[in-house]
Amino acid sequence: MRTSKDLYTLIILCCSSLCAFSQSDSSRTLKGVEVKAVHLETLTSRAAMPVTVINRKTLDMMGSRRLDEVMREQTGIAIVNDISAGSRAIGMQLQGFSADYILILIDGQPMIGRNAGNFDLSRITVSDIERIEIVKGASSSLFGSEALGGVVNIITRQHIDAAQGQAIVRYGSQNTQDFTLEGETPFAAKSRTGKIVAADNATIADYNGTLNLSGNFYHTDGYNVNSFLSKGATAPPYDSYSLQGRLRYKLNAKNSLNIAGRWALRNSINESVYSSSQVINTTRDVLHESDVNGAMVWQANLNKGWQLKTQYYLTRYSTTQDVSTGKSTQLNTNDFTQYYHRFEEQVQYVVSNQLSFAGGVGGNLEVMDGNDLKSEYAYLQGDWKVNKQFSTRLGFRYDHADFYGGRLNPSAGLKYSLSKKILLTAAVGTGYKTPDFQKRYQVFTNPQAGYTVLGVEEVATQLAAMQAAGLISEVRPVAKDISAALKPEMAVSYNVGVSYAPVQNIRIDVNGFYNQLHNFINTVQIATRTNFQPVYSYINLDRSFTGGIEAGVSTHVLKGLDMSFGYQLLYAKDRGIMDSIRAGAYPYNKIRNNNTGETRASKVSDYIGLENRSRHMLNLRVFYEYAPWGISATFRANYKSRSGYDDANNNRFLDTYDTFIDAYCLVYASIEKKLCKGHLAVQITADNLMNYTDMLMPGQPGRILMAGLKWRLFKQ
């Protein structure tokens, strides 16, 4: 059988490959030709707004191990700790939008499992990522309108045309270990040799099927930036295991099948010891989480430009987290299991080179600890190249949730080439996010601070029960307004850009963006407990906005040398706070100078903006590759201006007398040398080379030096 023979070939290659094995071949990177039958679920083909793409080569050269490491180096992105949700709550912020509003996709399907809205990207290894796409703003409506702030799409390895394997071993600071084993092969050749000769005399693969398998193990001891800890880490230590597989098979000329699966497991034990003046306290934080994703796609190419895609996706996320003190007192537990099923039917119709349509209908079923939430959706997108200069994209998505009814979200994008050098773009889109389970059903009392949070559906019964038990001293008038009719949050995003290429190989991009968030769900105090502590629930209150400018310059002036520069200017503010300051409402009406103790009336101009957002972000990257020597190197620097950490003068808004995270700059470098005709590579990477740390950024590790060995096995 052909299949097994190819697998044998792969296994033999894996076992017996030596440097001497290789023969001369000029290509040093993995060649790839897409199995034509399968259309990729890419953002590039689905978003009205500009898409940032990070490709495999960039990832390889950077030498990053986990997804959070890659993302924190991107313009306009920050990885921030959510202090109020515990030391493990860390999420990605995009254009000033917090992690709640950023959708993380794997091959176009949503990933789940969040900690108070935060998706910890360090769950994901970059080892089998082929490319990462980032769309900012509420525009990628076809992938899910709940992505008010943006979408990150992780595309796993797709291009397979020859049997090859790869083993990567990395070791470095903080006992960091990263092992990857990857193998892939095409199978079931159409012709006897498995190759056909294309028109330009190059041989390309022609197989009916491809298979890719990869496994990764990662360990870190974590990193501590808190000098008050004598033991333990502020970026927790963990072990992570992941396995990933993908099978594609062309059933016949028109039908193909694609099956993909991913399984990941993470265990982490973080024992923190606080010691000061003979007082010793131990906190033990244990986390187990697992993650399963499975997708099955059947694609049928019908006649005359019609294509039909039927897909089923299932993901399960389960976590148990326990925080206890040395006296075995439990401080916090966070255990849940979440299932998400999606079934979707998609139709694509290519009318002509100028006009194409894509549409689909689907249903989601989300099950979490006995509660289930059904939703349905439909979308339609049209792409029209009006002429050589002008193209447009128009999309609609309709979402319907069991409880919240339906909503239509449009998005539109325009591109106009003013000249060969100047391209103008404009996009607008809306997004919509229904309140999650927590906001509807949770009943939670924080054991540390003592406040209680009630989901809107629980308010009436729980408050009555607490009152009956004599736990409530005061119920506020606003409690009557809390109803199950919590409205979904809604965002409108605008983006206008110009791309200018003054000379060949130099490009300047400038984009202005503005995102407005309506019906923002905020906590509100509805009652006071007899112990003086507040009882909170949720209400649609303030309107926030984020707006600014993103600019980039990329140059490719010398062969092998790529240099780029990125900048983001960001204003992120809460209009509710601005209104309160204007109206002179307590406690927003005053501003206390903490250096002198003096208090004066506040002005709107005293308000700096939302916490944890830097006004200026800058990055600089130099990537260099000298092919004759097989040497490549990168140098990257990331600057973020100061950002607010927390209120320090009790007026509930960020002003100049509050606590700030200082401006900082992180430097990264890497160097790689390929040996043995590309079969072997040695890489040294330095993350945070200058070892900059700040206690107020618990999740940002100091200097991590790593040495890695990559062994690639491929037929010449």
Q: Considering only residues 390-419, where is the footprint of other proteins by CB under 8 A? A: none
Note whether 255 binds other proteins by CB under 8 A.
no
The residues, ordered by sequence, that sit 6+ positions from 401 with a Cβ below 8 Å of its Cβ are 373, 374, 375, 434
Q: Within 443-511, where are the H helices?
A: 459-468
Place of tokens 């993302």: 71
Q: DSSP secondary-structure letter at 663?
A: P
Q: Considering CB under 8 A, how many residues would be counted as binding other proteins? A: 86
What are the residues facing 523 on neighbouring strands? 538
Q: How far is the CB of 304 from other proteins (least distance, A)?
A: 49
Residue 279 near other proteins by CB under 8 A: yes
Tokens at 210, concatenated: 């491809």
Binding span for other proteins by CB under 8 A among 96-104, 237-245, 596-604, 671-679: 596-604
**476 contributes a contact to other proteins by CB under 8 A:** no
Beta strand extents in 519-663 (DSSP E only):
521-529, 534-540, 544-558, 561-574, 590-592, 599-601, 616-626, 631-640, 643-646, 659-661
Binding of residue 438 to other proteins (CB under 8 A): no
For other proteins, the closer CB: 475 or 676 = 475
Residues 309-328 that bind other proteins (CB under 8 A): 323-325, 327-328
Q: 37 to 66, contacts with other proteins by CB under 8 A?
A: none
Output the six-digit token pair for 282.
């131990």
504 binds other proteins (CB under 8 A): no
List the one residue from 343, 396, 451, 514 that touches other proteins (CB under 8 A).
451
Q: In this chain, which of 334, 442, 523, 641 binds other proteins, going by CB under 8 A?
A: 523
| Cβ neighbours of residue 525 closer than 8 Å, sequence gap 6 or more | 476, 478, 534, 535, 536
274 binds other proteins (CB under 8 A): yes
Contacts of 194 (CB under 8 A, 6+ apart): 186, 205, 206, 207
- Smallest separation (angstroms) from other proteins to the CB of 709: 28
Return d(Cα 420, Cα 389) in angstroms, integer: 9
Query: In the complex, what is the shortest distance from the CB of residue 713 to other proteins, in angstroms, rounded to a whole number?
Result: 36
Which residues does 16 contact at the CB level (< 8 Å), separation at least 6?
none
449 counts as binding other proteins under rule CB under 8 A: yes
Name the residue nearer to other proteins (CB basis): 25 or 335: 335
CB of 687 to other proteins, least distance (A): 13
User: Which residue's CB is nearer to other proteins, number 156 or number 224?
Assistant: 224
Interaction with other proteins in 612-641: which residues (CB under 8 A)?
620, 622, 635, 637, 639
Q: Cβ 518 to other proteins, closest distance in Å?
A: 21
* Residue 234 near other proteins by CB under 8 A: yes
Q: Which is nearer to other proteins, 427 or 669 (CB)?
A: 669
Under rule CB under 8 A, residue 467 binds other proteins? no
User: Out of 26, 277, 303, 352, which residue is the one contacting other proteins (CB under 8 A)?
Assistant: 277
> In this structure, which amino acid lies at residue 146?
E
Binding segment for other proteins among 13-21, 277-285, 396-404, 477-485 (CB under 8 A)?
277-285
Which member of 25, 402, 481, 662 binds other proteins (CB under 8 A)? 662
Measuring CA to CA, which residue among 123, 113, 111 is closest to residue 152?
A: 111
Q: Report how far apart, in Å, the C-alpha atoms of 45 and of each of 295, 532, 650 are.
A: 20, 54, 48
Least distance CB 586 / other proteins (angstroms)? 5
Quote the CA–CA distance of 118 and 116 in Å, as a whole number: 6
Question: What residues from 134 to 173 belong to the interface with other proteins (CB under 8 A)?
Answer: none
The H-or-E segment that residue 338 falls in is strand 330-350
Span near other proteins by CB under 8 A; candidates 199-207, 289-297, 538-546, 587-595: 587-595
227: contact with other proteins by CB under 8 A: yes
Could you say which residues in the range 524-553 bind other proteins, by CB under 8 A? 528, 531-533
Amino acid identity for residue 173 in this structure: S
Separation of alpha carbons 469 and 300, rounded Å: 62
Residues 70-89 that bind other proteins (CB under 8 A): 81, 83-87
Are 604 and 654 spatial neighbours (Cβ–Cβ below 8 Å)? no
Does 459 contact other proteins by CB under 8 A?
no
Please report how close the Cβ of residue 383 comes to other proteins at its closest, in angstroms.
36
Nearer to other proteins, 312 or 635 (CB): 635
Dihedral pair phi/psi, residue 629, rounded to 5°: -95, -5
Specify the residue, 384 or 635, whose C-beta has the smaller distance to other proteins: 635
Is residue 261 within 8 A of residue 283, CB to CB? The reply is: no
Q: Is there binding between residue 272 and other proteins (CB under 8 A)?
A: yes
447 binds other proteins (CB under 8 A): yes
Q: How far apart are CA 329 and CA 584, in angstroms?
A: 44
Alpha carbons 546 and 97: distance in angstroms, whole number: 7
Q: Which of residues 684-703 bind other proteins (CB under 8 A)?
A: 690-696, 698
- Decide whether 209 or 237 has the Cβ nearer to other proteins: 237
Q: Which CB atom, from 514 or from 639, has the smaller least distance to other proteins?
A: 639
Alpha helices, H only, 56-190: 56-62, 67-71
Provide the minimum distance between the beta carbon of 435 and other proteins in the complex, in angstroms, as a whole number.
19
Which part of the chain contacts other proteins (CB under 8 A), choosing from 102-110, 540-548, 662-670, 676-684?
Answer: 662-670
The three-state secondary structure class of 422 is strand
The answer to the question of residue 329 lying near other proteins (CB under 8 A) is yes
Rg over CA atoms, the chain: 27
Query: Which residues, 162 to 221, sit near other proteins by CB under 8 A?
Result: none
For other proteins, the binding residue among 436, 550, 611, 655 (CB under 8 A) is: 611
- Does position 369 interact with other proteins (CB under 8 A)? The reply is no
3-state SS class at 349: strand
Residue 310 vs 599, nearer CB to other proteins = 599
In angstroms, the CA 220 to CA 225 distance is 15
Q: How far is the CB of 164 from other proteins (least distance, A)?
A: 36
Do 543 and 576 meet the contact criterion of CB atoms below 8 Å apart? yes
In terms of Cα–Cα distance, which of 576, 577, 554 is closest to 623? 554
Name the strand (E) or helix (H) holding 186: strand 176-189
Task: Count CB atoms within 10 A of the CB of residue 325.
Answer: 12
Span near other proteins by CB under 8 A; candidates 157-165, 178-186, 222-230, 601-609: 222-230
Q: Which residue is associated with the tokens 């019609």?
A: 306
